[in-house]
Structure 1
Amino acid sequence: MPELTESVTFRHEDWYGEELADRHFVGCEFFEVDLTEAVTRGAVFTGCTFGNVLFNASRHQDSAFTRCVFKRCNFFEAQFIGCKMVGSTFVECQLRPLRVDGGDWSFVALPGADLRGAWLSGVRMREADLSGANLTDATVAGVDLSGAQLQKCRLGGADLRRSDLTALDPTTVERAGAMVDVEQAVVIAQALGFRVG
């Protein structure tokens, strides 16, 4: 059984390089905690709040951060592999360069996020709020963006191949130089009112 911690507030803690495996935090608050180079494996954070937390160069594998709130946190070179982030919200966070491989980030709120050059691959982001996000030169490959909010997204130079773009209105985004595959090009043409024959 994972070790359970409920409704605890952590302030000014130094968890640099810590390994958190099979821990379960519910309704906890983390303020100015240093998780630089920390590793989580199978850890679960449910309904937690993170304020001014350093996630720099941290690595998270098969962990879950569901319905969490991240405020002014730094994710420089953080990696999330097979993680579940369903329903979490990011506010004024530093997210570059972020790497996400697989997992479920559905219903995540990232409005206006600076994700230039980010790597998002094979992740589910159904109904995610990416309105106004800057994904310039990002890799967004094989991502399920069905139902996502993408208005006013900046996608210039982004690699969007194999991603679900059915929710994309190409007239509301910056798209110069964005790369799509043939199937996506058909979807985009149809969204613009073209009949493809």
Structure 2
Amino acid sequence: MPEATQDPVEEQRFVRDDWYGEEIAGRHYVRCEFRETDFSEAVTRNSVFTDCVFGNVRFNASRHVDSAFTGCTFKRCTFFDAGFSGCKLVGSSFAECELRPLRVTGGDWSFAGLAGADLRGVTFQGVRMREADLTGADCGGAVFADVDLSGATLHAVKLPRADLRGSDLSALDPLNAELAAAIVSPEQAAVLVTSLGLQVRA
């Protein structure tokens, strides 16, 4: 998992800073505040952001590798064409953010707050999202491949045309979700049918 190599920067404010294209490696920020900062095309590697606040920050085309954003708050941030690989976002929340298109590969997004998020067409692959809040999220056409969604809050989630193969759907109530044309495996179909109180027999 991510491990910073530098001493932490604590409780500092960064306002309208330009970090465009910057290589952010081995850094650690604790309870810092980033306002209207430009992280476009920046790359974070083995960096840790703990309990930080990001407001109106641009992460467009940024890449994040083996980094952590734990307990962070993102509000009105843009993640156009951003990518996260092997990152930890446990307990972080997203409000009024633009998250499309976004690609997440591996890592841990457990307890992440994505209620009401527009996640149409995004990709989560091999990600741990235990007890994540996806209440009312629009995930039309999204890919959740081999994602651990156990214990996730999926009330009123929209998953039309979404590819859900390989993911844990035990927390999904088909009666409280939009699933038109969603793609599942036979094993997942059996789980969904069982959750409806039906019995599958040969």
With structure 2 as the length reference, what TM-score do the two structures score? 0.97
Measure, in 1, the Cα distance between the counterparts of 2:187 and 2:46.
Answer: 36
The reply to whether residue 6 of structure 1 matches residue 10 of structure 2 is: yes
Measure, in 1, the Cα distance between the counterparts of 2:112 and 2:122.
Answer: 16
Structure 2 unmatched runs, 5+? none
Structure 1 unmatched runs, 5+? none
Cα RMSD for the two superposed structures: 0.6
Among 15, 26, 31, the residue aligned to 2:19: 15
1:170-197 Cα deviation digits (max 9, x unpaired) = 0111110000001100100000111122
Structure 1 outlier segments of 4+, above 2 Å: none
Measured after TM superposition, the shift of residue 3 of structure 1 is 3.4
The reply to whether residue 90 of structure 1 matches residue 94 of structure 2 is: yes
Measure, in 2, the Cα distance between the counterparts of 1:196 and 1:104.
Answer: 33
Measured after TM superposition, the shift of residue 2 of structure 1 is 1.7
Figure out how many residues of one structure are paired with residues of the other and give that number.
197
Measure, in 2, the Cα distance between the counterparts of 1:184 and 1:147.
Answer: 16
Among 122, 127, 137, the residue aligned to 1:123: 127
Q: Partner of 1:189: helix, strand, or coil?
A: helix
Q: Partner of 2:8: helix, strand, or coil?
A: strand
Among 117, 140, 148, the residue aligned to 1:144: 148
Q: Partner of 2:84: helix, strand, or coil?
A: strand
In percent, how many aligned pairs have the same letter?
61
Measure, in 1, the Cα distance between the counterparts of 2:181 and 2:124.
Answer: 18
With structure 1 as the length reference, what TM-score do the two structures score? 0.99
Partner in structure 1 of residue 137 of structure 2: 133
